[in-house]
Amino acid sequence: MFASSLRWIYGSPPRLLMLGFAAIIAVGTLLLGLPAATVAGETTSVIDALFTATSAACVTGLVTLDTGTHWTLFGQLVILALIQVGGLGFMTMATLFAFFLKRRISLRERLILQEALNQTSMEGIVRLVRRVIVYALVIELTGAILLSVRFLLDMSPGRAIYYGIFHSVSFFNNAGFDIMGQYRSLTDYAGDPAVNIVSMLLIVLGGLGFIVLSDLIDWRRTRRLTLHSKVVLATTGFLIGFGALVIFVFEYTNSASMQPLGFGEKLLAAFMQSVAPRTAGVNSLDIASLRQATQFFLVLLMFVGASPGSTGGGIKTTTFAALIGAVIAMIRGKDDVVLFRYRLAQERVYKALTITLLSLTLILLATMLLSATEDHHFLKLLFEVTSAFSTVGMTMGLTLELTMFGKIVIIVLMFIGRIGPLTMGYALGRKPGRVLFRYAEGKIIIG
């Protein structure tokens, strides 16, 4: 029985990946449940400890307890460790220890790394992991130094350094956790160029994906970018620019959000709120005070999310680009989806469509469930569900008011969102056998 269970776990990289994240969350829940983790010196309820551990490991940022005031230094460090392991992936961290121990990476471990980093082949996977670790540490350290220097103007040196490290790790991993206190996030720094620009750079660099970062660093030598990097950079740039424009226009005259700010501060806030939904969850404006049109637009940005192989969630920028390419090809009467003069394989388009439909189905189903159990406005529920599934962490204030059932639904969504609905399907489903025949082609009328 035990041997068959081990075969069931180790026989599938997606399954091992799913159970690995579950184990990390379980350990985090136990640690956060200790009295030493809370300022009051009391045990945190299992559901709140589980919610926080899941949110941290799945780099989401939704919280039922204020990170800055409820948790002690020990509790905050547990959260920070979960963010780092969850953001880079537990297999990446395990590989780091293997490097230190000078142990060879086995074929099975390479297969799991391939699945964890969303790669199409194992070629160069260990070299990529080395780069992932180096890039992450260098970027996080740089961000920590820059934020610490700015925070020195507002607090003691020790506190400023700690705040710089915590928020740099959180923002780069697109987690959205903050320790500003009272659920304020960066609202106190809405017009501060240093904090906003550094935070946006950390979020964008974490959301681009390590493959793109590697390509950009190698560009000076190779003078070329892969198709993947071109699509990610173009889509990311478009979404940030268009998103900032929409938010700026919708919120310019809103007295509860942007109106009191100067023109430059308005631009800064618009860009920050365009970057954060993909998928960091940081906010410099009060989300609940935004106009409904802006809130719904943020839902769309959250749904798209970051890029493959990154610390972010959502359906991913490449999925979005493939779908747009397919629509354009269909309208033009073309058979091939072409991006940057390259034809996409039909299997890639099918995968993009499958991920989008699965994600949309889960979001709609969860929203419908919460509509039956939570007495709140539909948009508020849709916003919370999309934020959880896309591992964003933005909220309109609903997290604190969720029932026990609502918290469980959000926990499940955060977990599925971090693993990916397709990976979850591969993990829980049977391994497909060899196809021995094909059915005759049939025709139906579409549209």
Higher-pLDDT residue of 129, 373: 373
Whole-prediction pTM: 0.89
Q: How large is the average pLDDT for residues 190-195?
A: 88
- Widest CA span in the chain: 73
Residue 177 has pLDDT above 70, yes or no: yes
Amino acid at residue number 227 = L
Banded model confidence at residue 438, pLDDT cuts 50, 70, 90:
confident
Q: How far apart are CA 445 and CA 447, in angstroms?
A: 7
Q: How far apart are CA 226 and CA 408, in angstroms?
A: 41
Tell me the torsion sign for CA atoms 21, 62, 118, 90: negative
Q: How far apart are CA 191 and CA 343, in angstroms?
A: 44
Banded model confidence at residue 385, pLDDT cuts 50, 70, 90:
very high
Banded model confidence at residue 283, pLDDT cuts 50, 70, 90:
confident
Q: How far apart are CA 133 and CA 278, in angstroms?
A: 22
Spatial contact of 383 and 411, defined as CB atoms under 8 Å apart? no
Residue 2 has pLDDT above 50, yes or no: no
Spatial contact of 232 and 212, defined as CB atoms under 8 Å apart? yes
Q: How large is the average pLDDT for residues 168-176?
A: 90
Q: How far apart are CA 381 and CA 367, in angstroms?
A: 6
Q: How large is the average pLDDT for residues 416-430?
A: 76
Banded model confidence at residue 396, pLDDT cuts 50, 70, 90:
very high
Tell me the torsion sign for CA atoms 360, 366, 369, 373: negative
Given this model, what pLDDT does residue 73 score? Answer: 94
Q: What are phi and psi of 436, to 5 degrees?
A: -95, -15
Given this model, what pLDDT does residue 134 score? Answer: 84
Tens digits of residue pLDDT in 401-421: 999 999 999 999 999 998 888
Residue 425 has pLDDT above 80, yes or no: no
Torsion angle of C-alpha atoms 194, 196, 202, 208, degrees rounded to 10: -130
Tens digits of residue pLDDT in 109-168: 566 555 555 555 555 666 767 777 888 889 999 999 999 999 999 899 999 999 999 999
Spatial contact of 24 and 57, defined as CB atoms under 8 Å apart? yes
Tens digits of residue pLDDT in 254-266: 998 898 888 989 9
Strand segments (E) across 292-438: 338-339, 342-343
Higher-pLDDT residue of 245, 104: 245
Q: How far apart are CA 409 and CA 27, in angstroms?
A: 20
| Burial zone of 440 (CB within 10 Å; 0-12 exposed, 13-18 middle, 19+ buried) | exposed
Which helix (H) or strand (E) covers residue 234, if one does?
helix 227-251
Share of the chain above pLDDT 70, in %: 86
Tens digits of residue pLDDT in 285-322: 889 899 999 999 999 999 999 888 777 789 999 999 99
Tell me the torsion sign for CA atoms 25, 26, 29, 34: negative
Strands 342-343 and 338-339: antiparallel
A 10 A CB-CB count for 101 gives: 7
Given this model, what pLDDT does residue 90 score? Answer: 53
Given this model, what pLDDT does residue 315 score? Answer: 92
Q: How large is the average pLDDT for residues 239-249?
A: 95
